[in-house]
Amino acid sequence: MQNIYSTELSGLPRTLSAPTHQSVSVSHEVEEDFASVNSSEQDGQSSVGEGSCTPPPLGRTPEPARKWRDVFWLFLFLVQTALVGFLLAVLGINRYRRDNRFAKLARFQSSDGLQTQEFWPIFGTAAAIGAVLGWAMLTIICIRANQLIKVAVHSVTTYLAIVSVFCFWDEEIFWGIAFAIGAALQFMYAISVMDRLPFSILMIKMAATMLLGLPATIRVCYGFILAMLAWMVLWSFGVSGVVSSGMDDGARWWILLALAVSLFWTGAIFCNTVHVIVAGVIFLLLSSGAQGQVVLPSRPIMRSLRHAITTSMGSICYGSLFTAAIRVFRWSIRGLRSRIGKNECLLCCVDFLFNIVEILVRFFNKYAFVQVAVYGKGFNHGARDSWELFQSTGVEALIAYDLTGAILLMVTVLGGLMTGTGVGIWAWYKEESRVIMVGSTAMLMGMVLVGLCMVVVEGAVTSIYICYAEDPALISRWNPEFADQIAETLHQRFQHRSGRDVPAHMVGVQLPKPLPEIS
């Protein structure tokens, strides 16, 4: 029984292993291995106990039917999508090739000659630029991660500062101040985390190695980009109607803000759906070598996709509402906390905020999506279990040290800035009074599309951490040198936190209690 699938399982590490000093070639063997496992071989075997409260060892218990989780949030998203879609259609049609088609809307606007079709191609160009930039950045990060990350970290600060100068020159004082503050915060954050970049770059490189061995996961991302582009056709149609409307600037900005929040939530749901799909497949791959008896299901991508868009969709909608904002707030607090020094009053205030954020992170963190993908848990349940797993094994020290999420966000922001700049230049010649409105909206569109590509890498990284916390041997079997580097970094973090020497043999095993955070 142990050797029935030895051929498939023994081929897996060879397919995904990363050469230490050479570039990694793309391989399709993993997908062929998946397809070679037929239904007769799966009889009598067992797989992950998805949906259980405590995850059983992979491959030991039969997989029960998954329950639908967080259904209320799925219902809320569907209602929101229907209402926003109707509103977008009305707003776009109202100014399409004619001023104020609807009499009820005409009372709130004047006829200034601008129409929907004048701005719709501009936003269409923004969507095209964002999609191309997303594809290009994902390709580069898979083959030249080190260079792209360094460019992104340093370029975002410079880019924000330049945009701020142009805003002041155009007498857009509010936006000039906003971009200047963003540039200053980005500069201070980059300085405070420079020593953490090498480990984070390593994690991204190894995640990219996995993705190169599983090209189907990248194709899933491209499929979701096409779906998002289809939604953006309608979204940009409605936004074009708002931008061209004769309403006063305040009303236009409030409507655009509401539509931007809707697009952000929709984009986050698309991103986290890809996250769940990729995380489920990567976790299954890393766990497949356990005891030589795990059966890989045929067509794992389709299996993970089916779970993501059905039983787990409510959890994805729920987590997408809060996770991104909490993560950004947590990064900001950590960066500020590390630069305070010995100012006890300020440190006390920041510690208070930090403790609040840590409580929120326990129930809203991106690692919950791995639990959602693998075990079919609800979002809060998965977030809590992930955090308790990290705390009990000490891997939380690595999570706090890791910057992969922040780095990928910088790449996403850079893509959004490039999209907004390109479209803003066109808008400047088309209608100068609308340039900030069009440019900022295009920036959001670019960020959503680039973020859809970056989340593929993030899904692989989160799976690596969950696998390492559950059993470090899972990573060691795939790439022993990489596992040693993780263990060494974890050992250094233990030393930093405890202020004393930690025996090396304690790294990678479960500790009875989480280590207290001192710094």
Q: What percent of the chain is modeled with pLDDT above 70?
A: 75
**pLDDT confidence bin for 497, thresholds 50/70/90:** confident
Mean pLDDT of 225-236: 96
* pLDDT grade for 71, boundaries at 50, 70 and 90: very high
- pLDDT at 133 exceeding the cut of 50: yes
Residue 410: what pLDDT? 92
Q: What are phi and psi of 295, to 5 degrees?
A: -95, 125
pLDDT class of 72 with cuts at 50, 70, 90: very high
Task: Give the residue with greater pLDDT, 120 vs 112.
Answer: 120
pLDDT for position 26: 34
Rounded to 10°, the helix 215-243/249-287 angle is 170
For the segment 380-429, what is each residue's pLDDT rounded down to a tens digit? Answer: 999 999 999 998 999 999 998 999 999 999 999 999 999 999 999 998 88
Which ranges constitute the DSSP H helices of 340-471? 344-363, 368-375, 379-393, 396-401, 404-430, 435-470
Quickly tell me which residue has 């029960």 as its tokens: 64
Which phi and psi angles does 61 have, rounded to 5°?
Answer: -125, 150
List, in order, residues 6 or more apart from 497 with CB less than 8 Å away: 397, 515, 516, 517, 518, 519
Q: In this predicted structure, what is the pLDDT of residue 338?
A: 61
| The pLDDT of residue 502 | 47
The residue written with tokens 């075990």 in the block is 375
Q: What is the pLDDT of residue 409?
A: 92
pLDDT at 167: 87
DSSP conformation letters of 83-115: HHHHHHHHHHHHTSSSS--SHHHHTT----S--
Task: Determine whether 467 is exposed, middle or buried from the number of CB atoms within 10 Å of its CB (0-12, 13-18, 19+).
Answer: buried
Tokens for 243, please give them: 């931008």
Rounded to whole angstroms, the Cα distance separating 501 from 513 reads 17
Token pair for residue 434?
């609308």
Residue-averaged pLDDT of the chain: 79
Q: Which amino acid is at 255?
A: I
Q: What is the pLDDT of residue 190?
A: 87
Residue 152 CB contacts under 8 Å (≥ 6 apart), including other chains: 407, 410, 411, 414
| Domain assignment of residue 210, yes or no | yes
Degrees to nearest 5, angle at CA 74 with 285 and 379: 50
Q: Would you say residue 157 has pLDDT above 60?
A: yes
Confidence of residue 296 (pLDDT cuts 50, 70, 90): low
d(CA 329, CA 17): 36
How far, in Å, CA of 437 to CA of 210, rounded?
A: 40
Among the residue ranges 29-33, 143-147, 152-156, 484-488, the one predicted with the least confidence is 29-33
Residue with more model confidence, 180 or 518 = 180
CA distance 24 to 19: 7
Number of domain units in the chain: 1
Q: Residue 246: helix, strand or coil by DSSP?
A: coil
Task: For residue 286, give the H/E element and its range.
Answer: helix 249-287
pLDDT at 28 over 60: no
User: Is the pLDDT at 23 greater than 70, yes or no?
Assistant: no
pLDDT at 225 over 50: yes
Q: Can you give the pLDDT at residue 175?
A: 87
Rounded Cα distance between 349 and 372, Å, is 35
Q: What is the C-alpha separation between 434 and 246, in angstroms, rounded?
A: 12
Task: Of 241, 243, 203, give the one whose Cα is nearest residue 395.
Answer: 203
User: Is the pLDDT assigned to residue 326 strictly greater than 50?
Assistant: yes
In this prediction, residue 107 carries a pLDDT of: 55
pLDDT of residue 227: 96
Residue 438 has pLDDT above 90, yes or no: yes
In-domain check, residue 23: no
Section 460-485 average pLDDT: 92
Mean pLDDT of 50-54: 41
Does pLDDT of 29 surpass 50? Answer: no
Residues 358-379 have pLDDT tens digits of: 677 777 889 999 999 999 999 9
In a domain, 488, yes or no: yes
- Span 24-49, average pLDDT: 38
Tokens of 481: 């040198």
How many residues in total does the chain contain? 519
Buried b / exposed e over 244-283, threshold 16 CB at 10 Å, is: bbbbeeeebbebbeebbebbbbbbbbbbbbbbbbbbbbbb
Residue 375 structural domain: 120-506
Does 60 or 245 have the greater pLDDT score?
A: 245
Give the tens place of pLDDT for each residue, 166-181: 889 888 888 899 999 9
pLDDT at 446 over 80: yes
Range of lowest pLDDT (102-106, 157-161, 264-268, 468-472): 102-106
Question: Per mean pLDDT, which of 113-117, 170-174, 197-201, 326-330 is the most reliable?
Answer: 197-201
In order of 10, 144, 254, 263, 448, the CA distances from 258 in angstroms are: 52, 38, 6, 9, 16
Task: For residue 48, give every residue at least 6 positions away whose Cβ sits within 8 Å of its Cβ, in sequence order, or none.
Answer: 55, 56, 58, 59, 61, 63, 284, 287, 374, 375
Judged against a pLDDT cut of 70, whether residue 27 lies above it is answered with: no
Q: How far apart are CA 45 and CA 277, in angstroms?
A: 23
Question: Comparing 226 with 58, which gets the higher pLDDT?
Answer: 226
Mean pLDDT across 443-469: 95
The whole-number pLDDT of residue 335 equals: 63
With 50 as the cut, is the pLDDT of residue 258 above it? yes
With respect to residue 433, please indicate whether it lies within any of the assigned structural domains: yes
Which of 53-67, 244-258, 503-517 shows the highest mean pLDDT? Answer: 244-258
Q: Quick one: pLDDT band at residue 162, thresholds 50, 70, 90?
A: very high
Tell me whether residue 293 is in a domain: yes
Q: pLDDT confidence of 509, banded at 50, 70, 90?
A: very low
Residue 317 lies in a domain: yes
Q: Torsion angle, CA of 33/34/36/41, rounded to 10 degrees?
A: 120
Q: Where are the alpha helices (DSSP H) in 170-214?
A: 173-192, 197-213
Q: CA-CA distance, 348 to 223, in Å (whole number)?
A: 47
Tell me the two tokens of residue 127: 């969507």
In a domain, 188, yes or no: yes
Classify residue 426: in a domain, yes or no.
Answer: yes
* Single-letter residue type at 275: H
Q: Higher-confidence residue: 356 or 180?
A: 180
